[in-house]
Structure 1
Amino acid sequence: MARTHLPKTKPMPTSPSTARLRENLSTYLAAGDAEALRDRLKTLRHAEFRAAGAVMCEGRFWETVTEAEFWRFFLVLAADNAKAYVGTMLKAAAARHCHRPLVCEAEAFRAFAQDVASDIDRRKTLDALLPLFDQEEKVERLMTLFRVNEENDRVRAGYLFRAGTPVCYFLLFRLLKKWEDDVPTLRRFAVELIRKGDKSSFNLACILREYFNLDEVPGTFSLRLPAYELSRLDAHPEAFLKILLR
């Protein structure tokens, strides 16, 4: 059967009204006036507010401000209406990170984490930001800032599990060693990892099965781990990541 080649669709051009709205909102960024932006957003009609949210999700909208200024806007908006703004600003943070890696050490970010964020906000923020970092120290610092390390180990394990990055999986593996005698919990983590469906999650499930000698873990595992590799897993992050990403 001959293939039908459909014409490529071009992205829809920005409407004049959205362009004007972007230009108007940008003036508050140029002035560094987070409170004025907050007040302006309150005056928008429903359709305009939705358009403003789409504009503010874009990393390029914030490219003229420093990271410290970005988190200052984040703090002011989140304190006013977390339900309306936290998700939007986290999308902007992730988009910004692609071009200008986040450090997350600004005072406004710290104030949000420790004084403003609700439990829901904390989860949203960590679920959005943890996957962005590929260094153990940065992941640990972020979790400490949001006081996750003051929670029980199962809460901490949940964040690392959901993030699903190689460095978070290393920290999760190291944490799971605390439950080496709790076979049902370890098996449950292995099964949930398999259900995630990606290669690194499947490999971590295999690592758990071999390292903790778990039985009745479903799946056919092609990853083979000799004893000398198992002995190095928790001592050397590089050795763990090499196996995880094999």
Structure 2
Amino acid sequence: MVSFRKHNPLLRSRLLTTINTNSPAELLATLSGLSVSELRTANYLLSEELLGQLSSEQYWNFFAVIVPSNSKGYLGTFLKAAVQLYKQGQLNFTSDILLNFETYATSIDRRKFLETLLPIVNNTDEVHLLIETLCKDQFHAAVSFLLNAATPFAYYELFCLLRVAELNEQVLLRYIIQLIKRGDTISFNMACVLTCYFDVKEVPGSFSLRLQNYELGRLEEGPAYFLKVLNR
């Protein structure tokens, strides 16, 4: 296991001074001049302390310069800080930001981005934006990311995707079984929704959630009623 110093007051001061000037180019130059061990410490300081103090606009400005220079080295650092900022209500996504990321992101970069952020995104609009931008024309990948995120907001986006896809019953059954295997109430309810809405046969087991026929149509009206059903 590679060890590194988590605390380096001089390096922290240099990084903080650069960040406070709001100059992504200067920060990149500073990082580029560090030794391997110093860079590990810098990544720790950035992810755990410094980037989490930025506004959403400042964060994305630094992201847009630093991450493309070496996504393998810096994306994880920025994503750790993104989780902290988002949970504090201080990080917003826009289509321009995500489209810019998509232009240089590798498939591994996109996977890391979605696997980190989809589970914490707390509204359906941002889930849709993430999937629409980073999984465009990649239906099966989108389904996989949404199933793994396992949040009500991700499940609503999954429902919307499945509604317009032409899938046979066996494929739908496979998704339903995946949901059942997760074992939590929200996923069980999602499995019930898909079973009833698409009239899938031979689903193993039974559900405590009961849906009336009129409710199936209301699921299409938008996220409000859908989320209410999932959270019963």
TM-score (norm 1): 0.80
Q: Offset of 1:89 from its aligned partner?
A: 0.4
Per-residue Cα deviation, 1:111-157 (whole angstroms, up to 9, x for no partner): 632422222212222232333433333332333343x33x1432332
Q: Offset of 1:172 from its aligned partner?
A: 0.9
| In structure 2, distance between residues paired with 1:179 and 1:102 | 32
Per-residue Cα deviation, 1:56-100 (whole angstroms, up to 9, x for no partner): 212x41255332221122122211111111111011011011223
* 2:83 counterpart of 1:94: yes
* 2:188 counterpart of 1:202: yes
Larger Rg: 1
Aligned length: 228
Tell me the SS of whatever aligns to 2:90. coil
* 2:122 counterpart of 1:134: yes
Per-residue Cα deviation, 1:182-239 (whole angstroms, up to 9, x for no partner): 1011001011112223221121112222222223323442222222222322224222
What is the RMSD computed on CA atoms of the aligned residues?
2.5
Judged with a 3 Å threshold, the aligned counterparts in structure 2 of structure 1 residues 152 and 80 are, in CA distance, closer, same or farther, namely: closer
* 2:52 counterpart of 1:66: no
Aligned counterpart for 1:215 among listed residues 190, 198, 201: 201
TM-score (norm 2): 0.84
* 2:177 counterpart of 1:191: yes
Tell me the SS of whatever aligns to 2:221. coil
Corresponding residue number in structure 1 for 2:219: 233
Would the aligned equivalents of 1:67 and 1:102 in 2 still touch at CA under 8 Å? yes
Judged with a 3 Å threshold, the aligned counterparts in structure 2 of structure 1 residues 26 and 135 are, in CA distance, closer, same or farther, namely: same
Trace 1:37-116 onto structure 2 (pairs within 5 A).
37-58=27-48, 60-105=49-94, 109-110=97-98, 112-116=100-104
Corresponding residue number in structure 1 for 2:20: 30
- For 2:10, give the aligned amino acid: R
Would the aligned equivalents of 1:180 and 1:212 in 2 still touch at CA under 8 Å? no
Tell me the SS of whatever aligns to 1:103. coil
| In structure 1, distance between residues paired with 2:6 and 2:192 | 54
| In structure 2, distance between residues paired with 1:104 and 1:179 | 26
Judged with a 3 Å threshold, the aligned counterparts in structure 2 of structure 1 residues 16 and 183 are, in CA distance, closer, same or farther, namely: closer
Q: Give the % identical residues.
A: 36
Question: Which sits farther off after the overlay, 72-81 or 39-48?
Answer: 39-48
Corresponding residue number in structure 1 for 2:109: 121
Per-residue Cα deviation, 1:159-179 (whole angstroms, up to 9, x for no partner): 322332212211211221235
Structure 1, unmatched stretches of 5+, are 1-14
Judged with a 3 Å threshold, the aligned counterparts in structure 2 of structure 1 residues 46 and 219 are, in CA distance, closer, same or farther, namely: farther
Would the aligned equivalents of 2:6 and 2:41 in 1 still touch at CA under 8 Å? no
Would the aligned equivalents of 2:6 and 2:44 in 1 still touch at CA under 8 Å? no
